[in-house]
């Protein structure tokens, strides 16, 4: 193998900025599409499921939300290896088409009153297409930015991927709340809830245009130019990188549980459990989103200076220690206290996610980075992230304890903390050196073992 013998070509700052802008804007569109389902959960519960039991309908809505996440590993197994064969940029363009078309279609599906059981079945199918698409988004996006970034600033550059997710969620919240403000309750119930899904189609065209104008990463282009692109990246990843696949699966447990509790579950928790108004919930999620948007990039830069592991440990410990008292604060009956608790949970999430994506990408060699990352990440998000709103709602309903979602967050934090203990520090290390360790002698069991350690 000769990949490690050739210096990585110099990447100009303007190229890095273009890559960040393209990945971030496209990712914002992707997650706007994905997020509006959660913000419109109460309307969807009413429109797509039989009338009667509101809690059952909401649980069904979150179950369909979770079903999309169970498709994400399939998307990871498909798009991850595809990204290692044809490039990250092409996969990023493909997934945004799937996401936008399926989201647009959700806005066009007739309600249960019109087509009966076909309404929830179509909803389930389209959410599964969304989940399949999302399975290719995060892995490809994280690898794309990691491979463009300078070694000394990789944490900062990659942090814009998760930053753009928060932007997408915030735009979804602003769009839904704006419509609820401008339209009457009857208009919103009749057709207004469909508008955000229709907007997604137009945004998808914009995101696709931006992504089609991007070039592929210097690392992947180098592999391709030297004829070193893996012919069977999935098989190679499973053989040489099983340990980092397991590590990233555990690493992102609290990443995803925390994210979907903070940005998807808590807005409905504010209205259904805490009995605040929708305006109150909007103010809270907006403040929480702004806190995350302000904190993530500088904390990503901090991870380049002090390492990924200190921030990963701090984020996991923050959730383990403070999740319970913050849920107690949420339930004091004070709106100010509830908003403060929501913002504090968003801050803890920011501490963790600012470093987790870069740390995950740094575990893998270029030949199998997209495959390994996508498989590990999406298996974890399917089991723990997508189920978080459902589990949290179920816990409150079954236990009668409004603080019970905190226990789920704490368990996730402990699992992730133990995973971080198994990882070594990767901040500032050249990705090319990771490639050398993994592919220089792939037939050697010893080399494969060290390559798996990243």
pLDDT tens across the length of the chain (454 residues): 444 445 666 778 888 888 998 888 878 887 787 778 777 877 887 888 777 666 667 777 777 777 777 888 899 999 999 999 999 999 999 998 998 898 899 889 998 888 888 888 888 899 889 889 888 888 899 999 999 999 999 999 999 999 999 999 899 888 988 898 899 989 998 899 999 999 888 888 888 888 888 889 988 988 888 888 888 899 999 998 899 999 999 999 999 999 989 988 898 899 889 999 988 988 999 999 999 999 999 999 999 999 999 999 999 999 999 999 999 999 999 999 999 999 999 999 999 999 999 999 999 999 999 999 999 998 998 888 777 878 888 888 888 899 999 999 999 999 999 999 999 999 988 875 344 444 444 433 333 333 333 3
pLDDT at residue number 444 = 39
- Residues 21 and 356 sit within 8 Å (Cβ to Cβ): no
* Residue 435 pLDDT: 40
Tokens 């997020």 belong to residue: 35
- The reported pLDDT for the residue numbered 222 is 86
How many whole angstroms separate alpha carbon 372 and alpha carbon 360?
9
**Cα separation, 351 vs 360, whole angstroms:** 15
**Looking at residue 49, what DSSP letter applies?**
S
Distance between CA atoms of residues 213 and 205, nearest Å: 13
SS3 346: helix
Separation CA 424–CA 313 (nearest Å):
12
Phi (first) and psi of residue 400, to 5 degrees: 70, 10
How far apart are the C-alpha atoms of 21 and 31, rounded to whole Å?
Answer: 15
Six-digit token string for 100: 């936008």
Q: Where are the alpha helices (DSSP H) in 116-231?
A: 118-148, 154-182, 185-190, 195-212, 218-225
CA distance 376 to 360: 9
- The pTM assigned to this predicted structure is 0.85
Q: Please give the Cα distance from 229 to 87 (Å, whole number).
A: 9
Residue 255 to residue 238: CA distance in whole angstroms: 23
Among 328, 340, 322, smallest CA distance to 410 is for: 322
Tokens representing residue 62 in the block: 């979150």
Burial letters for 350-374: b for 16+ Cβ neighbours within 10 Å, e otherwise? bbbbbbbbbbbbbbbbbbbbbbbbb
């Amino acid at each position: 193998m000769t990949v490690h013998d050739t210096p990585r070509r110099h990447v100009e700052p303007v190229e890095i900025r273009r890559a960040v802008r393209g990945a971030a804007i496209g990712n914002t569109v992707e997650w706007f599409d994905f997020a509006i389902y959660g913000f419109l959960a109460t309307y969807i519960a009413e429109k797509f499921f039989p009338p009667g039991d509101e809690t059952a309908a909401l649980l069904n809505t979150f179950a369909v939300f979770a079903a999309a996440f169970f498709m994400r590993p399939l998307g990871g197994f498909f798009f991850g290896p595809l990204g290692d064969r044809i490039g990250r940029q092409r996969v990023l363009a493909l997934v945004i088409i799937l996401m936008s078309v399926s989201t647009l279609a959700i806005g066009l599906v007739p309600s249960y009153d019109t087509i009966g059981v076909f309404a929830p079945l179509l909803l389930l199918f389209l959410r599964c297409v969304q989940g399949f698409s999302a399975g290719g988004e995060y892995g490809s996006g994280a690898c794309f930015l990691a491979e463009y970034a300078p070694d000394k600033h990789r944490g900062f550059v990659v942090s814009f991927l998760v930053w753009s997710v928060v932007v997408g969620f915030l735009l979804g919240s602003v769009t839904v709340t704006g419509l609820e403000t401008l339209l009457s309750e009857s208009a919103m119930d009749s057709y207004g809830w469909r508008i955000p899904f229709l907007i997604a189609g137009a945004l998808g065209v914009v995101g696709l245009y931006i992504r089609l104008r991007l070039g592929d990463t210097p690392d992947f282009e180098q592999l391709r130019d030297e004829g070193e692109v893996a012919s069977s990246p999935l098989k190679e990843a499973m053989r040489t990188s099983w340990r980092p696949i397991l590590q990233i699966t555990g690493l992102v447990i609290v990443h995803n549980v925390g994210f979907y509790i903070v940005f998807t579950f808590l807005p409905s928790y504010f209205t259904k459990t805490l009995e605040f108004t929708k305006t109150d919930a909007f103010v809270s999620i907006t403040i929480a989103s702004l806190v995350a948007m302000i904190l993530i990039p500088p904390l990503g830069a901090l991870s380049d200076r002090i390492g990924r592991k200190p921030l990963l440990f701090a984020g996991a410990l923050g959730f383990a220690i403070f999740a319970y008292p913050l849920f107690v604060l949420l339930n004091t009956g004070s709106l100010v206290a509830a908003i403060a608790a929501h913002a504090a949970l968003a801050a803890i999430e920011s501490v963790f996610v600012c470093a987790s994506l870069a740390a995950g990408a740094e575990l893998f060699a270029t030949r199998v980075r997209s495959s390994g990352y996508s498989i590990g990440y999406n298996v974890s998000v399917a089991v723990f992230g997508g189920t978080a709103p459902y589990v949290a709602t179920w816990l409150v309903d079954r236990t009668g304890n409004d603080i019970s979602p905190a226990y789920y967050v704490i368990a996730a934090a402990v699992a992730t903390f133990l995973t971080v203990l198994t990882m070594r520090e990767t901040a500032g290390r050249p990705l090319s050196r990771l490639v050398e360790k993994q592919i220089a002698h792939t037939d050697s069991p010893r080399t494969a073992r060290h390559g798996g350690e990243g």
